[in-house]
Amino acid sequence: MKCPVCDSESYEILKTKGKNTKEILLKCNECGNTYRETVVIPKMVECRVIISKFEESLKKTIKIYPDEVLEVGEVLVVDGEEAEITSLENVRGGRVSKSPVSELVTIWATSLSGPARVGISIDNHGWILSKKVEVDRDFQFNVGDVVKMGKAVFRIKSMKTITSKIRKGGATADQIKRIYGRPADGKDKFKYDLSSKIVEVVEEEQVP
């Protein structure tokens, strides 16, 4: 808001009135001129948010300004909990990585509250033992780690993350969808024990 006398944008707000349309009385810090400006503040709109939390999809709504631009990776606070945007669905039915709120139908996000849940599959000569564990979101898994989980001791062979499948290196739990392993040698010592972290057990199944 420039001063109409000297074009300075340095000012002091003396008085405001109104709610959605504000009338503002300003004083220029350069020349001392007082002048008025009218600012229209857009009303917040409700936008649907679908938050993935483990196997659940939670339907929520969030109030946000229509001219605000959202993008994938941004963190929102919904009902007091943080959620990271994973996809945006616009009015044309497409999925986009960036969009103004006025063009959105649904915000897709993943919950950042609580622990991360990671699936683990151990291939024991054609028999697959699958379990799920809950660990801190920043817990680091590395390909090659020897891990104890219940009665099984296995070595991590690969991991499927949100973006790719990796066969070397590591990733934090919040980025991992599933860990794949094979029984470790009897002489191998495990690096960490996930036995107390097991939250779900799936029956063994034979690979066809």
Asked if residue 203 has pLDDT above 80, the reply is no
Global pTM reads 0.60
Structural domain boundaries in the chain? 11-40, 45-111, 116-206
Q: Mind listing the pLDDT tens digit for each residue in 62-115?
A: 999 998 999 999 999 999 889 999 999 999 888 999 999 999 999 999 888 889
CA distance 179 to 131: 10
User: Residue 54: its pLDDT value, please?
Assistant: 79
In the chain, the percentage of residues whose pLDDT exceeds 90 is: 67
Res 122: pLDDT: 96
With contact defined as beta carbons under 8 Å apart, do 147 and 191 qualify? Answer: yes
Measure the CA–CA gap between 33 and 45, rounded to whole angstroms: 37
Backbone angles phi, psi at 195, to 5 degrees: -55, -40
* Mean pLDDT rounded to a whole number for the chain: 90
* Interacting residues of 119 by C-beta distance below 8 A, sequence separation 6+: 130, 131, 132, 177, 178, 179
pLDDT of residue 200: 66
By C-alpha distance, which of 206, 157, 203, 150 is closest to 184? 157
The answer to whether 47 touches 104, Cβ cutoff 8 Å, is yes
Q: Tell me what pLDDT residue 71 has.
A: 94
Q: What confidence tens digit (pLDDT) does each residue in 127-161 have? A: 999 999 999 999 999 999 999 999 999 999 999 99
Give the per-residue pLDDT at 204. 46
CB 7 within 8 A of CB 30: no
Measured between alpha carbons, how far is 29 from 46 in angstroms, rounded to an integer?
A: 39
